[in-house]
Amino acid sequence: MNFILINIKELLQVRENQTQVVKGKELQHLPTLKNAWLKVEDGIISDYGAMDTFENHANFKIIDCTGKIVLPTWVDSHTHLVYAGNRESEFVDRIKGLTYAEIAAKGGGIINSAEKLQQTSEADLYQQSKIRLQEVIAMGTGAIEIKSGYGLTAEAEMKMLRVAKRLQKEFDLPIKTTFLGAHALPKSFNGNTSAYIDEVIDEMLPKIVEEDLADFIDIFCEKNYFEIEDTQRKIDAGKKYNLPAKVHVNQFTSFGGLQLCAENNVLSVDHLEVLTEEDIQHLKASSTLPVALPSCSFYLEIPYTPARKLIENNLPIVLASDYNPGSTPSGNMNFVVSLACIKMKMTPEEAINAATINAAFAMQVENKVGSITKGKLANLIITEPIHSYAFLPYSFGCNHIEEVYIKGQPQIH
Ligand code: NIG
Ligand code: FE
Protein backbone atom coordinates (compact mmCIF):
# COMPACT_ATOMS: atom_id res chain seq x y z
CA MET A 1 0.00 0.00 0.00
CA ASN A 2 1.42 3.38 -1.00
CA PHE A 3 0.27 6.28 1.12
CA ILE A 4 1.12 9.68 2.48
CA LEU A 5 0.48 10.70 6.07
CA ILE A 6 -0.35 14.40 6.15
CA ASN A 7 -0.84 17.07 8.82
CA ILE A 8 1.32 15.09 11.27
CA LYS A 9 1.48 17.21 14.41
CA GLU A 10 5.05 16.09 15.08
CA LEU A 11 7.22 13.54 13.30
CA LEU A 12 9.77 12.17 15.77
CA GLN A 13 13.26 10.80 15.36
CA VAL A 14 13.95 12.22 11.91
CA ARG A 15 17.56 11.34 11.14
CA GLU A 16 19.50 11.00 7.90
CA ASN A 17 23.06 9.65 8.05
CA GLN A 18 22.99 8.52 11.68
CA THR A 19 25.93 6.14 11.60
CA GLN A 20 26.55 5.89 15.34
CA VAL A 21 24.71 5.31 18.57
CA VAL A 22 23.52 8.39 20.41
CA LYS A 23 25.35 8.97 23.69
CA GLY A 24 25.78 11.30 26.65
CA LYS A 25 24.33 14.77 26.10
CA GLU A 26 23.31 13.92 22.52
CA LEU A 27 20.60 11.71 23.96
CA GLN A 28 18.75 14.84 25.03
CA HIS A 29 18.22 15.74 21.39
CA LEU A 30 15.27 14.10 19.64
CA PRO A 31 15.17 15.51 16.11
CA THR A 32 11.59 16.26 15.08
CA LEU A 33 9.65 17.88 12.28
CA LYS A 34 6.44 19.74 13.17
CA ASN A 35 3.38 19.85 10.90
CA ALA A 36 4.84 17.25 8.59
CA TRP A 37 4.02 14.76 5.86
CA LEU A 38 5.54 11.31 5.34
CA LYS A 39 5.41 9.23 2.17
CA VAL A 40 5.50 5.43 2.17
CA GLU A 41 6.17 3.43 -0.99
CA ASP A 42 6.36 -0.36 -1.13
CA GLY A 43 6.72 -0.58 2.63
CA ILE A 44 9.62 1.87 2.74
CA ILE A 45 9.82 5.48 3.94
CA SER A 46 10.45 7.28 0.65
CA ASP A 47 10.19 10.93 1.61
CA TYR A 48 8.96 13.42 4.18
CA GLY A 49 8.86 17.14 4.75
CA ALA A 50 7.05 20.10 6.27
CA MET A 51 3.40 20.57 5.20
CA ASP A 52 4.17 23.79 3.33
CA THR A 53 6.21 21.66 0.87
CA PHE A 54 3.49 19.03 0.41
CA GLU A 55 2.32 18.23 -3.11
CA ASN A 56 -0.50 15.83 -3.77
CA HIS A 57 0.49 12.63 -5.58
CA ALA A 58 -1.92 10.64 -7.72
CA ASN A 59 -2.17 6.94 -6.75
CA PHE A 60 -1.25 7.58 -3.12
CA LYS A 61 -3.80 7.15 -0.41
CA ILE A 62 -3.85 10.26 1.80
CA ILE A 63 -4.16 9.69 5.54
CA ASP A 64 -4.90 12.69 7.71
CA CYS A 65 -2.97 12.72 11.00
CA THR A 66 -4.20 16.01 12.42
CA GLY A 67 -3.23 16.24 16.10
CA LYS A 68 -1.32 12.97 15.97
CA ILE A 69 2.34 12.18 16.55
CA VAL A 70 4.25 9.74 14.34
CA LEU A 71 7.39 7.95 15.45
CA PRO A 72 9.40 4.91 14.41
CA THR A 73 8.27 1.69 16.11
CA TRP A 74 10.05 0.53 19.24
CA VAL A 75 13.04 -1.75 18.77
CA ASP A 76 13.17 -4.43 21.44
CA SER A 77 16.75 -5.75 21.45
CA HIS A 78 16.38 -8.21 24.36
CA THR A 79 13.52 -10.70 24.71
CA HIS A 80 12.87 -14.34 25.52
CA LEU A 81 9.53 -14.20 23.65
CA VAL A 82 9.58 -17.89 22.67
CA TYR A 83 8.67 -19.83 25.81
CA ALA A 84 6.18 -22.45 26.94
CA GLY A 85 3.47 -21.77 29.49
CA ASN A 86 3.68 -19.23 32.25
CA ARG A 87 4.90 -19.05 35.85
CA GLU A 88 2.04 -17.39 37.73
CA SER A 89 2.49 -19.77 40.66
CA GLU A 90 6.01 -18.38 41.22
CA PHE A 91 4.52 -14.91 41.05
CA VAL A 92 2.21 -15.82 43.92
CA ASP A 93 5.15 -17.39 45.82
CA ARG A 94 7.00 -14.12 45.49
CA ILE A 95 4.02 -12.16 46.78
CA LYS A 96 4.09 -14.46 49.80
CA GLY A 97 7.72 -13.63 50.45
CA LEU A 98 10.00 -16.04 48.55
CA THR A 99 12.86 -14.44 46.62
CA TYR A 100 13.77 -15.07 42.96
CA ALA A 101 16.82 -17.04 44.20
CA GLU A 102 14.75 -19.12 46.64
CA ILE A 103 12.26 -20.00 43.91
CA ALA A 104 15.09 -21.04 41.59
CA ALA A 105 16.67 -23.14 44.38
CA LYS A 106 13.47 -25.14 44.82
CA GLY A 107 13.29 -26.09 41.12
CA GLY A 108 11.37 -23.09 39.87
CA GLY A 109 12.80 -20.41 37.65
CA ILE A 110 14.56 -21.13 34.39
CA ILE A 111 14.62 -24.89 35.06
CA ASN A 112 10.84 -24.88 35.48
CA SER A 113 10.40 -23.13 32.11
CA ALA A 114 12.87 -25.55 30.48
CA GLU A 115 10.90 -28.58 31.67
CA LYS A 116 7.70 -27.07 30.28
CA LEU A 117 9.37 -26.22 27.00
CA GLN A 118 10.94 -29.65 26.52
CA GLN A 119 7.44 -31.16 26.79
CA THR A 120 5.88 -28.71 24.33
CA SER A 121 5.74 -29.50 20.62
CA GLU A 122 7.33 -27.11 18.13
CA ALA A 123 3.90 -26.42 16.61
CA ASP A 124 2.39 -25.54 20.00
CA LEU A 125 5.42 -23.41 20.93
CA TYR A 126 5.00 -21.54 17.66
CA GLN A 127 1.32 -20.83 18.35
CA GLN A 128 2.02 -19.54 21.88
CA SER A 129 4.90 -17.36 20.67
CA LYS A 130 3.00 -16.03 17.66
CA ILE A 131 0.25 -14.65 19.94
CA ARG A 132 2.88 -12.86 22.06
CA LEU A 133 4.52 -11.41 18.97
CA GLN A 134 1.19 -10.13 17.65
CA GLU A 135 0.53 -8.55 21.05
CA VAL A 136 3.84 -6.68 21.19
CA ILE A 137 3.51 -5.50 17.59
CA ALA A 138 0.10 -4.03 18.47
CA MET A 139 1.86 -2.19 21.32
CA GLY A 140 4.32 -0.64 18.87
CA THR A 141 7.27 -3.03 18.65
CA GLY A 142 8.59 -3.11 15.10
CA ALA A 143 11.85 -5.08 15.44
CA ILE A 144 12.70 -7.71 18.01
CA GLU A 145 15.49 -9.95 19.21
CA ILE A 146 14.50 -13.40 20.50
CA LYS A 147 16.72 -15.67 22.61
CA SER A 148 16.78 -19.39 23.19
CA GLY A 149 17.79 -20.53 26.69
CA TYR A 150 14.69 -22.32 27.94
CA GLY A 151 15.64 -25.52 26.12
CA LEU A 152 18.93 -26.49 27.79
CA THR A 153 19.32 -29.52 25.48
CA ALA A 154 20.43 -29.39 21.84
CA GLU A 155 17.03 -30.55 20.71
CA ALA A 156 15.02 -28.08 22.79
CA GLU A 157 17.33 -25.10 22.16
CA MET A 158 17.01 -25.78 18.43
CA LYS A 159 13.25 -26.10 18.76
CA MET A 160 13.14 -22.60 20.27
CA LEU A 161 15.36 -21.13 17.58
CA ARG A 162 13.38 -22.80 14.78
CA VAL A 163 10.23 -21.25 16.19
CA ALA A 164 11.92 -17.84 16.23
CA LYS A 165 13.08 -18.40 12.65
CA ARG A 166 9.55 -19.33 11.58
CA LEU A 167 8.28 -16.11 13.16
CA GLN A 168 10.97 -14.29 11.17
CA LYS A 169 9.67 -15.88 7.96
CA GLU A 170 6.00 -15.28 8.65
CA PHE A 171 6.15 -11.74 10.01
CA ASP A 172 7.43 -8.65 8.26
CA LEU A 173 9.36 -7.05 11.11
CA PRO A 174 13.12 -7.58 11.55
CA ILE A 175 13.74 -10.47 13.95
CA LYS A 176 17.21 -11.46 15.21
CA THR A 177 17.87 -14.69 17.07
CA THR A 178 20.30 -15.36 19.89
CA PHE A 179 21.60 -18.71 21.10
CA LEU A 180 21.59 -18.45 24.91
CA GLY A 181 21.98 -22.11 25.91
CA ALA A 182 24.04 -21.27 29.02
CA HIS A 183 21.07 -19.82 30.90
CA ALA A 184 20.92 -22.25 33.83
CA LEU A 185 22.61 -25.53 34.64
CA PRO A 186 20.36 -28.53 33.84
CA LYS A 187 19.88 -30.90 36.80
CA SER A 188 21.39 -33.77 34.83
CA PHE A 189 24.81 -32.06 35.00
CA ASN A 190 24.95 -32.42 38.79
CA GLY A 191 26.64 -29.11 39.40
CA ASN A 192 29.26 -29.61 36.71
CA THR A 193 29.08 -26.27 34.93
CA SER A 194 32.12 -26.72 32.74
CA ALA A 195 30.80 -30.03 31.39
CA TYR A 196 27.59 -28.22 30.40
CA ILE A 197 29.58 -25.43 28.73
CA ASP A 198 31.44 -28.17 26.78
CA GLU A 199 28.03 -29.43 25.64
CA VAL A 200 26.85 -25.91 24.71
CA ILE A 201 30.00 -25.13 22.73
CA ASP A 202 30.92 -28.49 21.23
CA GLU A 203 27.50 -30.07 20.68
CA MET A 204 24.82 -27.41 20.46
CA LEU A 205 26.59 -24.48 18.82
CA PRO A 206 27.91 -26.32 15.71
CA LYS A 207 24.43 -27.70 15.01
CA ILE A 208 22.85 -24.27 15.46
CA VAL A 209 25.40 -22.73 13.12
CA GLU A 210 24.91 -25.52 10.60
CA GLU A 211 21.17 -24.75 10.44
CA ASP A 212 21.84 -21.01 10.52
CA LEU A 213 19.58 -20.56 13.54
CA ALA A 214 21.37 -17.76 15.40
CA ASP A 215 22.68 -14.25 14.79
CA PHE A 216 24.18 -13.76 18.26
CA ILE A 217 25.25 -15.72 21.34
CA ASP A 218 24.52 -14.99 24.99
CA ILE A 219 25.24 -16.41 28.46
CA PHE A 220 23.83 -15.64 31.91
CA CYS A 221 27.05 -14.45 33.59
CA GLU A 222 26.06 -14.36 37.26
CA LYS A 223 26.91 -15.90 40.63
CA ASN A 224 25.28 -19.35 40.91
CA TYR A 225 24.73 -19.46 37.15
CA PHE A 226 27.81 -19.09 34.93
CA GLU A 227 31.28 -17.83 35.87
CA ILE A 228 33.78 -15.55 34.18
CA GLU A 229 35.69 -18.40 32.54
CA ASP A 230 32.45 -19.90 31.18
CA THR A 231 31.59 -16.50 29.74
CA GLN A 232 35.02 -16.16 28.11
CA ARG A 233 34.64 -19.60 26.55
CA LYS A 234 31.20 -18.78 25.17
CA ILE A 235 32.36 -15.42 23.76
CA ASP A 236 35.35 -17.13 22.10
CA ALA A 237 33.11 -19.82 20.63
CA GLY A 238 30.85 -17.11 19.22
CA LYS A 239 33.87 -15.39 17.65
CA LYS A 240 34.86 -18.61 15.95
CA TYR A 241 31.52 -18.67 14.15
CA ASN A 242 31.23 -14.92 13.69
CA LEU A 243 28.37 -14.57 16.16
CA PRO A 244 28.65 -11.37 18.23
CA ALA A 245 27.84 -11.69 21.93
CA LYS A 246 25.04 -10.03 23.90
CA VAL A 247 25.58 -10.97 27.52
CA HIS A 248 23.31 -11.09 30.60
CA VAL A 249 25.57 -9.57 33.25
CA ASN A 250 25.51 -7.55 36.49
CA GLN A 251 21.86 -8.38 37.22
CA PHE A 252 22.51 -9.23 40.86
CA THR A 253 26.28 -8.94 41.30
CA SER A 254 29.28 -7.17 39.88
CA PHE A 255 32.02 -9.80 39.91
CA GLY A 256 34.16 -9.12 36.86
CA GLY A 257 31.76 -10.22 34.12
CA LEU A 258 31.26 -6.75 32.74
CA GLN A 259 35.00 -6.11 32.60
CA LEU A 260 35.48 -9.30 30.61
CA CYS A 261 32.66 -8.39 28.21
CA ALA A 262 33.98 -4.86 27.70
CA GLU A 263 37.52 -6.11 27.10
CA ASN A 264 36.11 -8.39 24.43
CA ASN A 265 34.08 -5.51 22.99
CA VAL A 266 30.94 -7.64 22.92
CA LEU A 267 27.97 -6.09 21.13
CA SER A 268 25.96 -5.45 24.29
CA VAL A 269 25.85 -6.06 28.03
CA ASP A 270 22.32 -6.37 29.31
CA HIS A 271 20.76 -5.84 32.78
CA LEU A 272 23.44 -3.83 34.70
CA GLU A 273 21.18 -3.29 37.69
CA VAL A 274 24.33 -3.47 39.82
CA LEU A 275 27.04 -1.28 38.36
CA THR A 276 30.26 -0.11 40.03
CA GLU A 277 32.46 2.86 39.18
CA GLU A 278 35.03 0.44 37.72
CA ASP A 279 32.36 -1.15 35.54
CA ILE A 280 31.57 2.28 34.11
CA GLN A 281 35.25 2.87 33.34
CA HIS A 282 35.45 -0.48 31.52
CA LEU A 283 32.39 0.43 29.47
CA LYS A 284 33.94 3.78 28.56
CA ALA A 285 37.00 2.01 27.22
CA SER A 286 34.95 -0.27 24.95
CA SER A 287 32.43 -0.16 22.11
CA THR A 288 30.00 -2.35 24.09
CA LEU A 289 26.44 -1.03 24.41
CA PRO A 290 24.82 -0.96 27.87
CA VAL A 291 21.23 -2.24 27.79
CA ALA A 292 18.82 -1.48 30.65
CA LEU A 293 15.75 -3.63 31.30
CA PRO A 294 13.59 -1.57 33.66
CA SER A 295 10.53 -3.85 33.52
CA CYS A 296 12.69 -6.60 35.04
CA SER A 297 13.73 -4.25 37.86
CA PHE A 298 10.10 -3.32 38.39
CA TYR A 299 8.86 -6.90 38.51
CA LEU A 300 11.67 -8.37 40.63
CA GLU A 301 11.97 -5.26 42.80
CA ILE A 302 15.69 -5.00 42.23
CA PRO A 303 17.64 -1.79 41.53
CA TYR A 304 17.19 0.06 38.26
CA THR A 305 20.18 0.40 35.95
CA PRO A 306 21.76 3.77 36.84
CA ALA A 307 20.91 5.53 33.61
CA ARG A 308 21.96 9.00 34.73
CA LYS A 309 25.41 7.74 35.63
CA LEU A 310 25.79 6.12 32.22
CA ILE A 311 24.64 9.29 30.46
CA GLU A 312 26.88 11.55 32.59
CA ASN A 313 29.79 9.37 31.56
CA ASN A 314 29.02 10.03 27.90
CA LEU A 315 27.85 6.48 27.32
CA PRO A 316 25.02 5.39 25.03
CA ILE A 317 22.10 3.63 26.66
CA VAL A 318 19.63 1.17 25.22
CA LEU A 319 16.23 0.21 26.63
CA ALA A 320 14.68 -3.21 26.07
CA SER A 321 11.90 -5.28 27.63
CA ASP A 322 13.50 -8.64 28.60
CA TYR A 323 10.05 -10.18 27.96
CA ASN A 324 10.19 -13.64 29.64
CA PRO A 325 8.00 -15.79 31.91
CA GLY A 326 10.14 -15.44 35.05
CA SER A 327 11.51 -11.98 35.59
CA THR A 328 9.51 -9.85 33.10
CA PRO A 329 6.17 -11.21 31.99
CA SER A 330 5.49 -8.19 29.77
CA GLY A 331 6.82 -7.12 26.40
CA ASN A 332 5.20 -3.70 26.52
CA MET A 333 7.84 -1.21 25.36
CA ASN A 334 5.57 1.74 26.21
CA PHE A 335 5.79 0.70 29.83
CA VAL A 336 9.57 0.28 29.51
CA VAL A 337 9.84 3.87 28.25
CA SER A 338 7.57 5.10 31.08
CA LEU A 339 9.63 3.30 33.71
CA ALA A 340 12.84 4.70 32.25
CA CYS A 341 11.43 8.19 32.75
CA ILE A 342 9.75 7.63 36.10
CA LYS A 343 12.28 5.37 37.83
CA MET A 344 15.55 5.96 36.01
CA LYS A 345 15.04 9.71 35.57
CA MET A 346 15.60 9.65 31.85
CA THR A 347 13.90 12.44 29.96
CA PRO A 348 11.34 11.44 27.30
CA GLU A 349 13.87 12.39 24.60
CA GLU A 350 16.57 10.18 26.14
CA ALA A 351 14.18 7.27 26.62
CA ILE A 352 12.82 7.46 23.07
CA ASN A 353 16.35 7.57 21.63
CA ALA A 354 17.33 4.59 23.79
CA ALA A 355 14.30 2.53 22.70
CA THR A 356 14.56 3.28 18.97
CA ILE A 357 17.82 4.33 17.32
CA ASN A 358 20.21 2.99 19.98
CA ALA A 359 18.25 -0.23 20.30
CA ALA A 360 18.54 -0.73 16.54
CA PHE A 361 22.34 -0.65 16.89
CA ALA A 362 22.14 -3.16 19.75
CA MET A 363 20.58 -5.71 17.41
CA GLN A 364 22.40 -4.62 14.25
CA VAL A 365 19.29 -3.49 12.38
CA GLU A 366 20.24 0.20 12.31
CA ASN A 367 20.04 0.22 8.51
CA LYS A 368 16.41 -0.87 8.60
CA VAL A 369 14.66 0.64 11.62
CA GLY A 370 15.04 2.95 14.62
CA SER A 371 14.50 6.30 12.92
CA ILE A 372 12.50 8.16 10.29
CA THR A 373 15.01 7.91 7.48
CA LYS A 374 14.52 7.63 3.72
CA GLY A 375 15.02 4.01 2.72
CA LYS A 376 14.24 2.52 6.13
CA LEU A 377 11.22 0.29 6.68
CA ALA A 378 7.90 2.06 7.19
CA ASN A 379 7.56 0.61 10.68
CA LEU A 380 5.64 3.39 12.35
CA ILE A 381 3.59 4.25 15.40
CA ILE A 382 0.74 6.72 14.97
CA THR A 383 -0.64 8.05 18.23
CA GLU A 384 -4.11 9.27 19.03
CA PRO A 385 -4.38 13.06 18.97
CA ILE A 386 -2.19 14.05 21.96
CA HIS A 387 -0.73 17.28 23.21
CA SER A 388 2.96 16.31 23.18
CA TYR A 389 5.16 13.23 22.98
CA ALA A 390 5.95 13.47 26.70
CA PHE A 391 2.35 12.42 27.20
CA LEU A 392 3.31 8.88 26.10
CA PRO A 393 5.64 8.03 29.04
CA TYR A 394 3.66 10.27 31.40
CA SER A 395 0.40 8.38 30.99
CA PHE A 396 1.99 5.09 32.01
CA GLY A 397 -0.07 1.94 31.63
CA CYS A 398 -2.40 3.62 29.14
CA ASN A 399 -2.44 3.00 25.43
CA HIS A 400 -2.39 6.03 23.18
CA ILE A 401 -1.32 4.20 20.05
CA GLU A 402 -3.94 4.39 17.33
CA GLU A 403 -2.14 2.50 14.57
CA VAL A 404 1.06 0.54 14.03
CA TYR A 405 2.46 0.01 10.54
CA ILE A 406 4.92 -2.73 9.73
CA LYS A 407 6.48 -2.37 6.27
CA GLY A 408 3.67 0.03 5.50
CA GLN A 409 0.92 -2.43 6.48
CA PRO A 410 -1.58 -1.47 9.20
CA GLN A 411 -1.52 -3.93 12.13
CA ILE A 412 -4.37 -2.83 14.40
CA HIS A 413 -7.88 -3.57 13.17
O1 NIG B 1 16.89 -11.95 31.61
N2 NIG B 1 18.47 -13.26 34.00
C3 NIG B 1 18.32 -14.25 33.35
N4 NIG B 1 17.32 -14.58 32.54
C5 NIG B 1 16.06 -13.95 32.45
C6 NIG B 1 15.09 -14.46 33.47
C7 NIG B 1 14.88 -15.89 33.35
C8 NIG B 1 13.72 -16.48 34.10
O9 NIG B 1 13.53 -16.22 35.31
O10 NIG B 1 13.02 -17.25 33.46
C11 NIG B 1 16.26 -12.46 32.52
O12 NIG B 1 15.82 -11.77 33.43
FE1 FE C 1 16.97 -11.69 29.65
Looking at the structure, do residues 134 and 37 belong to the same domain, yes or no? no
Looking at the structure, do residues 21 and 137 belong to the same domain, yes or no? no
Q: Whose CA is nearest to atom 8 of ligand 1?
A: 326
Q: How far is the CA of 145 from the centre of ligand 1 (A)?
A: 15
Looking at the structure, do residues 208 and 338 belong to the same domain, yes or no? yes
Looking up residue 341, the CATH number of its domain turns out to be: 3.20.20.140
> What is the domain count for the chain?
2
Express each pLDDT in 264-297 by its tens digit: 999 999 999 999 999 999 999 999 999 999 999 9
Q: Is the pLDDT of residue 412 over 80?
A: no
Can you list the alpha helix ranges (DSSP code H) found in 217-327?
228-240, 257-263, 277-284, 294-300, 307-312
Looking at the structure, do residues 98 and 162 belong to the same domain, yes or no? yes
Please give the residue range of the domain that contains residue 317. 75-362
Instruction: Write the ipTM.
Output: 0.97
Site to substitute for ligand 1 among 87, 98, 106, 110, most atoms within 8 A of C-beta:
110
Where does a domain end: 344, 362, 380?
362
Residue 193 vs residues 18, 115, 190: alpha-carbon distances, Å:
42, 19, 8
Express each pLDDT in 132-176 by its tens digit: 999 999 999 999 999 999 999 999 999 999 999 999 999 999 999
Q: Are 148 and 84 in contact (CB under 8 A)?
A: no
On average, the pLDDT of the chain sits at: 97
Looking at the structure, do residues 112 and 197 belong to the same domain, yes or no? yes
Q: 220: which strand partners?
A: 248
Residue 62 vs residues 1, 38, 65, 319: alpha-carbon distances, Å:
11, 10, 10, 33
Enumerate residues lining ligand 1, CB below 6 A.
109-110, 113, 220, 248, 251, 296, 322, 324-327
Express each pLDDT in 168-204 by its tens digit: 999 999 999 999 999 999 999 999 999 999 999 999 9
Site to substitute for ligand 1 among 115, 183, 323, most atoms within 8 A of C-beta:
183
Looking at the structure, do residues 206 and 336 belong to the same domain, yes or no? yes
Would you state the pLDDT for residue 56?
Answer: 83
Would you state the pLDDT for residue 413?
Answer: 65
Q: Whose CA is nearest to atom 9 of ligand 1?
A: 326
For residue 113, give the ligand 1 atom closest to its CA.
10
Whole-prediction pTM = 0.98
Looking at the structure, do residues 173 and 26 belong to the same domain, yes or no? no
Q: How far is the CA of 79 from the centre of ligand 2 (A)?
A: 6
Looking at the structure, do residues 147 and 130 belong to the same domain, yes or no? yes
Residue 211 vs residues 70, 81, 150, 162, 362: alpha-carbon distances, Å:
39, 21, 19, 9, 24
